[in-house]
Structures are given as C-alpha cells and as structure tokens.
Amino acid sequence: MQLGFKLIYPLLLVLIFIVNSPVSFAKLIIITEQYPPFNYKDTTKKAGKKQQLTGIAVDILKQTYLNAGLKLNLNDIKILPWSRGYYLAQQAHLTNMLFSTARTKEREDLFKWVGPIVADYTSVYALKRKK
C-alpha cells in the first residue's frame, strides 16, 4: 500500500520573527542542517581549502545577501541536527533564520516564508498486513 503526501515547497529561508517588528539581517542567527544537495558541509579534501558549507540552498542564500548588498560569512551559519534547528527557530526570544525546510500545511502559520526553491513529493510504503 502506498500512502502519498506532498511536501508543498522546501524553502530557501524560513524567517522567524515572532514580533512584527523588522529585524536587522546582521542580528539573525542562521541555522541549517546537513541535507545534500541543498545544504551540506563539503568534506572532500582540497589542497589548502577549508571544508565549507555548500549546496543549492546555500548558493541561493549567498546570492540573496549579495543582491541585498549584505555580507554573509558562511562560517557564521550553525549546522545543527534538523530537530534542534527547527526547535530554535520557534523560540520567540531569538531571531533565527532556518533554511531549507519543507513548507507544509501544519507549519504554514508558524513561520514567515521566503521561497520556494523546489517542489518535492514524498511517499511512504508499507506491507499491507502491517496496516
């Protein structure tokens, strides 16, 4: 039996501003996870190069900052397990940006969304006897 459900749009950025006042980009804590090909730490050994955050979503984030005339230091981005980043993104006393994550009906009102970057579909398979 196949149960299909759609992850509406994984997004580049999820801007969390619980208070309606604007927040300076300089004060944002940027959080992501290891989720290739969207965002991941490149672990290949390159002569003289430090391992760096890379991926489709990272490239879009860099270009977004560049277009806005802002500086982005990839070393300032926190790479955390997804559940911890998602939890921190919902804390009212913090100004966090979480990227990239799936936009679902349940999450719609929790965040201020920017994107999308891609559409994604997920299917779950199980044996009929397992219901």
Contact 82, 32 (CB under 8 A): no
**What pLDDT score was predicted for residue 53?**
92
User: What's the CA gap between 47 and 15, in Å, rounded?
Assistant: 36
* Domains delineated in the chain: 2-42+51-130 (3.40.190)
Whole-prediction pTM: 0.70
Taking only the tens place, the pLDDT of each residue in 40-54 is 998 776 656 678 899
Taking only the tens place, the pLDDT of each residue in 57-66 is 999 999 988 8
User: What's the CA gap between 69 and 72, in Å, rounded?
Assistant: 10
